[in-house]
Amino acid sequence: MKKLRKILPIIMMFGSLQVIKAKEFKYKIPVKIEDDWEVTSIYESNVKIDSLISLINQIENKKYNKIHSILIVKDGHLIFEKYYSGNDYKYWSPSSPTFNAGLVDYGIDSIHNIHSATKAFTSILIGIAIDEGFIKSVDEPIFEFFPEYSDLSDSLKSKITVEHLLSCTSGLEWNELDEPQGPSNDLVKLLAKILNPEISDEEYKIILPTDDLLEFILSKPCVGEPGKKWYYSSGDLVLLGEIIKKATGSRMDEFAKKYLFEKLNTDKCKWELIDTNIVNAWGMLKIRPRDLAKLGYLFLNNGQWQDKKIVSQDWLKKSSEKYIDIPFLTEDWGKISYGYQWFQRNTKVNNESVDYFFRPGVGGQCVAVFPKYNAVFVTTGGFWPSDGPVNEIIDRYIIPAIIIK
């Protein structure tokens, strides 16, 4: 009887776990919206639903409690879509040392801050500008677009091309990853007025000697031969956004609306300005996860959305393949390389080697493209300031779901 009393709580605990398991996620076909995704039941798709149900159970049992959305596209159809409530993002500042803003009940029409996944949009906009003849090629030297800053050029800087900015190999000195929130971080300097709107002109000049953000970036010394070494630089992206403006005569957000978003039937997005007339080309774009998935799908559909041709297949191939191997970033990333703002990764799942490319953003934002399996995976989250468990989720649940043998 004493033994029974001891094990009864354990029996009851396992009983409650069974109750939790019994509340498993009930799959629903994604909602069909006019001029949006074609949808199909997951049971009619070539995927393993058990892996996805396990993932949803883990999310709802609080293992991945900061996931805001999960979407899967397979063979051109949206087959899986789930949203959760979570905190919106706000900039860190010394007076407000947290990244969480108000609670949002995320859904199909909610726009989400995708952080550095924005870089994938900047990359494709450069490709469109080349396709449309506004930019000759990726081999154009960047100072061709900035003649007013020619006095800042030198023998090394004159070699920097559009391709070097796309691949983060410009060679321009830039401190971003080494000290994420420190005063010597160049991105923190670039955003000084956004992070601290009440900063005085005197304090601002100590942080940033010039209020001309392009001058700040282009005045940086070249610390290596362009094209030879990778270093993560949001400064390179700001220059790309301004190259689009210089080449096309339209600010990057206006160019994106006409040549990309209208063709994707996307009218729910919001760009950030980091200065009076400079679009934040490195991050902070707010967009629906469904529309982020459309960007990934262009790589599987010859640059076309529905009946509209958006970007050339040649550009998509070139931008998504390896340009340079890059240093080991975090333990779960493994061996990776970099293209035109896209990471390439190889992983092994169920003894099968899987190659794919992806564009992450801090906090758990990601669009991943699996050409071999004709699939796109999108997730958003609120894991700031970490990258979140995106690679773990891809390896444990997404790839096993889309690999069918």
Final residue of a domain: which of 217, 250, 283?
A: 250
Domain assignment present for residue 111? The answer is yes
Same domain (yes/no): 230, 274: no
Cα four-point dihedral sign 237, 326, 391, 343: positive
- pLDDT the model gives residue 98: 79
**Are residues 281 and 359 both part of a single domain?**
yes
**What is the chain's pLDDT, residue by residue, as a tens digit (405 residues)?**
444 344 434 333 333 333 334 345 688 999 999 999 999 999 999 899 899 999 999 998 889 999 999 999 999 999 999 999 999 999 877 666 678 889 999 999 999 999 999 999 999 999 999 999 999 999 999 999 999 999 999 999 999 999 999 999 999 999 998 776 677 889 988 888 788 777 788 887 888 888 899 999 999 999 999 999 999 999 999 999 999 999 999 999 999 999 999 999 999 999 999 998 999 999 999 999 999 999 999 999 999 999 999 999 999 999 999 999 987 666 667 789 999 999 999 998 888 899 999 999 999 999 999 999 999 999 999 999 888 999 999 999 999 999 875
The DSSP H or E segment spanning 100 is: strand 100-105
Is 105 within the bounds of a domain? yes
Provide the strand spans (E) within 222-306: 269-270, 273-275, 278-279, 286-287, 304-305
Q: Tokens representing 336?
A: 């990776």
Range of the domain at 104: 26-92+99-115+264-402
Q: What is the pLDDT of residue 255?
A: 98
Residue where a domain terminates, one of 250, 285, 320 = 250
Provide φ and ψ at 180, rounded to 5°.
-50, -45
- Picking from 61, 60, 87, 36, the residue whose alpha carbon sits closest to that of residue 268 is 36
Judged on CB neighbours under 10 Å (0-12, 13-18, 19+), 147 is: exposed
Q: Given this model, what pLDDT does residue 16 score?
A: 36
Residue 64 resides in a domain: yes
CATH number at residue 189: 3.40.710.10
- Domain match, 237 and 297 both: no
Q: Report, in angstroms and rounded to the nearest whole number, the Rg of the chain calculated over CA atoms.
A: 23
The strand pair at 67-74 and 375-381 is best described as antiparallel
16 domain residue, yes or no: no
Same domain (yes/no): 268, 306: yes
Tell whether pTM > 0.85: yes
Same domain as 128, residue 72: no
| Same structural domain, 285 and 314 | yes
Q: Look at residue 96 in the predicted model and tell me its pLDDT.
A: 67
Whether residue 3 is contained in a domain is answered as no
What is the model's pLDDT at position 228?
A: 95
Last residue of a domain, one of 250, 279, 294: 250
- Say if residue 211 is in the same domain as residue 340: no
Determine if the peptide bond prior to 30 is cis (ω within 30°): no
- Give the three-state DSSP class for 186: helix
State how many domains the chain has.
Answer: 2
- Residue 352 within a domain: yes
- Determine, yes or no, domain membership for 19: no
